[in-house]
Structure 1
């Protein structure tokens, strides 16, 4: 194409995209008007109004997020038809809803991602726009179906993956590759496992799959939302912009430590303790710990009824406990049965003692009357109530687990490993979360207490409403007899109380995040190799439909409780009905850096295959050995050098090294430049350390440096010695 022809087409594309933005602005204004109209509705019920407001709010939000990069490409079909591809769909309502802009998730947009020279999908040309804000800067064309062309034109892709990183993760919707698109649109409704090495885009693929599923299964999934589980809050901040930028907001982002609403997690356990808590064997410990709290009195407890005293002893309590356990009810639900039988047994002893010498069971009516009176007295007996509550207490997950950790005796009684002991049982760790969640279902709820609380709330609301009714009464002396009315003639106190019930104005994501019993339509698990068997039990409870997108890399596993293979993880829940896909191309890490990381991977995971880098950056990684008193200055030099460049940088190291963040905290993140400090100390943690160093080495998209005081690890030394000296004080790897 000549320069003149290119310029003319660029003007035309700019005009078309500008028209799309004008239409977007009109639709946005109309959506805002509908939203405000829904807020002001008075002719519908409060519930209907809230539903309408939420719907209109989502509609407005969908249009708001499309402002940046609204249209990013165009397809020209062999038939002569032209389609523009973008973040959302825009249609001509006056012309049979002909599309002005195709949503990237629509089936008609799929050739934009999968068409190749060999398989053009009936397309003649693919055009990709490079935009800034609302302006098209330029475009790149790929002519499809021409013999000898590459499998896919890489100009737009390489420009995107080589661009400097910002504060958050960017979506890849404009540059999705064929192998990624196949996974995103996969029709499998159950568990999908996507494995890939660093930089293969598995996280972005998972998030775009969520957007695709919410688009194609909107009616079902919008009622329940999506849960995204990531390895750290830093990672969640990094990815948190992707789904909103694709028009999806009914998503809850959390770590495994946040799966129990309201729980404050303060630490991680030591690897061995995490392994013990993550194993399914801990279920036996929890059940035994519950049974241990259903106690027998060490000494008889005297129950004084004034004229008579009887003993609440171990034999009596054992009988009541057996009756309660035989019901099969959960601990808190069986409390009422235990209390009822214990009181009946105590009553029988009281009646027998009162009637000793003159009353026999043959005197049935007198016996029954006396027993009924005694039962009433015992039901209100404070000492008996306190004794029974102590022997079979109402437990929460926290009041069971914290005392268990703090007591060597209780740990032994539950058959637990002594390593679980800690002085402060309430210093909750990430590994405690699945145990606390499990205990909700193992303990059950105290229905009697919940009913009493509900009754107290209803009575308080009715009392409040009655007060309002009094204020609403009309002064009958000022009204004609024919129109004398009081408020009660039109509305009862209970009806009015209903109107004073607090409405829940939170959006779906807020409500779901605060509700432990919420079940999701789909769950995404990132860095899934780190999750324990107990973590998976929590997640399976959150998604009974077993609709999961699971992404991870077994070679990067650092948790002692994590997965070593995918099959055993999912077999208990879906058998072999799960699908596996692998991503093999590294779009993030340049070949120069992947050579270094691949050598390390070959040492600690020889069966794993490093992903193939799609590009080179032209900058070789460097290493520098420093003295103890030079380390801080060397880190400052790196940061000062990077401050003058565009993009992001980070310094990673082992825990406790000043000026660094732990290598494990960078999982899932990416930076333009990375400095790895003391790789030998990171490796010293064994297999876990090797995985952490592999993660650290593969975070950079452009530049990688290594600072070390001790000799370089063996996997890096050979590369360094074979390198070519660079500027003073540095060595370059091959």
Structure 2
């Protein structure tokens, strides 16, 4: 194409995209008007109004998020038809809804991602726009189906992966590759496992798959939403903008430590304790711990009544306990059954003792009357009530598990490993969360008192409403005979009372995140290799339909309780009815850095092949050995060098080093937000799933020595950089890195090339 022809087409494309934005603005104005109209709607019931408001709010938000990168490409078919591809769909309502812009998830948009020279999908040309804000800067054309073409051009992809990183993960909607698109659009509705090494885009694929599923199954999935589970708050902050940028808001982001609403995780278990808690064998311990709290008295307990004293002994309590357990109800829900049977058995003893010599069971009426009187007295008996509370206490997961950890006797009675003992029972760890979640089901809730209170409130509200209606009544004698319309002709007292019921105005994501019993239409699990058997049990409970997208890399497993293979983890829930896909291309990590990480991978996981990098960055990694006193200054040098560059940077070092930040920190452009900016560290465990332009890895030998999975942690640390990698070490370099360091020449004084 000549320069003149290119300029002319560029003007035409700019005009078309500008017209798309004008249409977007008009639709946004209409959506906002509908939203405000829904807010002021009075003709609907409160429930209908809330539903309408939420629907209008979602539509307005969808159009707002579409503003950035609205249109990013065009397809020209062999038939001569032209289609523009974008973040959302825009249609001509006056012309049979002909598309002005195709949503990237629509089937007709698929060739934009998968067409190649060998399989052009009936397309002649693919055009990719480079935009800034609402303006098209330029475009790149790929003519499809020509002999000698290797396939889809890499200009847009390489521009995206080489671009400086910002404050969070970006969507890849404009640069989805064929192997990624296949997974995103996979029709399988059950469990899908996507495995891939560092930089293969598995997280982005999982998030775009969520957007695709919400697009294709909107009616079903929007009612219950989607849960995305990640390894840390830092990771969730990093990926949190992707789905909103694709117009999806009915999504809850949690770590496994957040699965029990309101619980605060403040401690970390040693690897062996985490392994014990993560195993399904802990279920027997929990069952036994609950049973251990259903006691019988060691000595008979005297129950003093007005006319007689009877004893509550072990035999009587055990009979009531067996009856309650036979109900099969959770502990707290079986509690009223236990109490009821104890009272009945004690009452029988009391009646027999009171009527000794003058009353027999044959005198059924007198026996029943006396028994009823005794039961009334027993129900008001404070000492007996306290005894029954002690024998079968009402428990919460926290009040059972915390004291269990603190008591060697209770641990022994439950058949638990003594290693579970800890002095502070309420110092909750991530490994405790699935146990607490399991106990919530084992214990249940005794809500009988709440039901009684709710019934009383409803009666009081109805009574109040009836009084209001009495006030509203008109004197019928003052009305014309033809106008006999009064308040009670329009609504009943119960209807009026309903209008005073407090409504839940939270959106779906807020309600779901606060409700432990919420079940989701789909669940995404990232860094899934870290989850224990108990974690999986908790997650499966939250998705009865077993609709999961699971992404991970077994080679990066850090947790002692994590997965070593996918089949054993999934078999208890779906058998072999799950699908596996693998991503093999590294889009993030340049070849220079992946060579370093690959040498380490070959040592600790020789059967795993590292993903192939699509690019080289031209900057070779370096290493430098420093003394203890030189380390702060060397880190300062790195921070100072990177402060003048565009993009993000981070220092990754072993946990426990002064200055290491918590996993709640958030990345910021040009550096890393920490509590100690002079020493901006994060541990390798907090770096999982993140990416930065520049990474400084400190003390790799100490990372390796940090535990049985130290090699995996070092592998994670080495593969976070998209452009520049440096290594500072006080101890000799690990073997995999030493050989590489000796192979090159220093880049400048004080630095050694790792390649």
> TM-score of the superposition, structure 2-length normalised?
0.94
In structure 2, C-alpha distance between the alignment counterparts of 1:306 and 1:319, rounded to whole Å: 25
1:256 corresponds in structure 2 to 256
- Contact kept, 8 Å, 1:604 with 1:687, in 2: the verdict is no
In structure 1, C-alpha distance between the alignment counterparts of 2:468 and 2:249, rounded to whole Å: 40
1:280 corresponds in structure 2 to 280
Closer, same or farther in 2 for the Cα pair 1:468/1:231, shift >3 Å? Answer: farther
SS of the residue 1:16 aligns to: helix
2:673 corresponds in structure 1 to none
Matches within 5 A, 1:38-117: 38-117=38-117
1:696 corresponds in structure 2 to 717
Closer, same or farther in 2 for the Cα pair 1:255/1:341, shift >3 Å? Answer: same
Q: Deviations over 1:321-372 (max 9, x none)?
A: 1121222222122112211111111112111221223333343333232222
In structure 2, C-alpha distance between the alignment counterparts of 1:366 and 1:173, rounded to whole Å: 81
In structure 1, C-alpha distance between the alignment counterparts of 2:453 and 2:267, rounded to whole Å: 34
Matches within 5 A, 1:306-455: 306-455=306-455
Aligned-residue CA RMSD (Å): 1.8
1:16 is displaced (CA, Å) by 0.7
Matches within 5 A, 1:501-650: 501-650=501-650
In structure 1, C-alpha distance between the alignment counterparts of 2:456 and 2:717, rounded to whole Å: 56
Closer, same or farther in 2 for the Cα pair 1:459/1:411, shift >3 Å? Answer: farther
- Contact kept, 8 Å, 1:276 with 1:282, in 2: the verdict is yes
Matches within 5 A, 1:242-253: 242-253=242-253
2:730 corresponds in structure 1 to 709
Q: Establish whether residue 127 from structure 1 lines up as the match of residue 148 from structure 2.
A: no
Number of residue equivalences: 733
Q: Deviations over 1:628-679 (max 9, x none)?
A: 1110011011011001011000001001223211111010000000000111
Task: Tell me whether 207-216 or 482-491 shows the greater mean CA deviation.
Answer: 482-491
In structure 1, C-alpha distance between the alignment counterparts of 2:516 and 2:88, rounded to whole Å: 33
Task: Tell me whether 472-481 or 394-403 shows the greater mean CA deviation.
Answer: 472-481
Task: Tell me whether 461-470 or 438-447 shows the greater mean CA deviation.
Answer: 461-470
Closer, same or farther in 2 for the Cα pair 1:633/1:461, shift >3 Å? Answer: farther
1:271 corresponds in structure 2 to 271
Closer, same or farther in 2 for the Cα pair 1:714/1:28, shift >3 Å? Answer: same
In structure 1, C-alpha distance between the alignment counterparts of 2:72 and 2:363, rounded to whole Å: 93
SS of the residue 2:709 aligns to: helix
In structure 1, C-alpha distance between the alignment counterparts of 2:176 and 2:728, rounded to whole Å: 36
1:572 is displaced (CA, Å) by 0.7
In structure 1, C-alpha distance between the alignment counterparts of 2:636 and 2:357, rounded to whole Å: 95
Q: Deviations over 1:586-607 (max 9, x none)?
A: 0000000000000011111111
SS of the residue 1:647 aligns to: coil
- Contact kept, 8 Å, 1:591 with 1:616, in 2: the verdict is yes
Closer, same or farther in 2 for the Cα pair 1:258/1:615, shift >3 Å? Answer: same
1:138 corresponds in structure 2 to 138
1:679 corresponds in structure 2 to 700
- Contact kept, 8 Å, 1:476 with 1:485, in 2: the verdict is no
In structure 2, C-alpha distance between the alignment counterparts of 1:501 and 1:165, rounded to whole Å: 49
2:674 corresponds in structure 1 to none
Closer, same or farther in 2 for the Cα pair 1:429/1:466, shift >3 Å? Answer: farther
In structure 2, C-alpha distance between the alignment counterparts of 1:514 and 1:99, rounded to whole Å: 40
1:452 is displaced (CA, Å) by 2.4
1:152 is displaced (CA, Å) by 2.1
Q: Deviations over 1:151-190 (max 9, x none)?
A: 3211111111010000010111101000000000001010
1:492 is displaced (CA, Å) by 4.6
In structure 2, C-alpha distance between the alignment counterparts of 1:460 and 1:282, rounded to whole Å: 47
1:686 is displaced (CA, Å) by 3.7
2:25 corresponds in structure 1 to 25
SS of the residue 2:66 aligns to: helix
- Contact kept, 8 Å, 2:190 with 2:547, in 1: the verdict is yes
Counterpart among 664, 674, 687 of residue 685 in structure 2: 664
In structure 2, C-alpha distance between the alignment counterparts of 1:540 and 1:137, rounded to whole Å: 47
For structure 2, list consecutive stretches of 5 or more residues without a partner in the other structure.
660-678
In structure 1, C-alpha distance between the alignment counterparts of 2:430 and 2:527, rounded to whole Å: 15
SS of the residue 2:272 aligns to: helix
1:730 corresponds in structure 2 to 751
1:477 is displaced (CA, Å) by 12
1:710 is displaced (CA, Å) by 0.9
Closer, same or farther in 2 for the Cα pair 1:41/1:203, shift >3 Å? Answer: same
SS of the residue 1:67 aligns to: coil
> TM-score of the superposition, structure 1-length normalised?
0.97
1:288 is displaced (CA, Å) by 0.4
Closer, same or farther in 2 for the Cα pair 1:453/1:265, shift >3 Å? Answer: farther
- Contact kept, 8 Å, 1:474 with 1:485, in 2: the verdict is no
Task: Tell me whether 343-352 or 83-92 shows the greater mean CA deviation.
Answer: 343-352
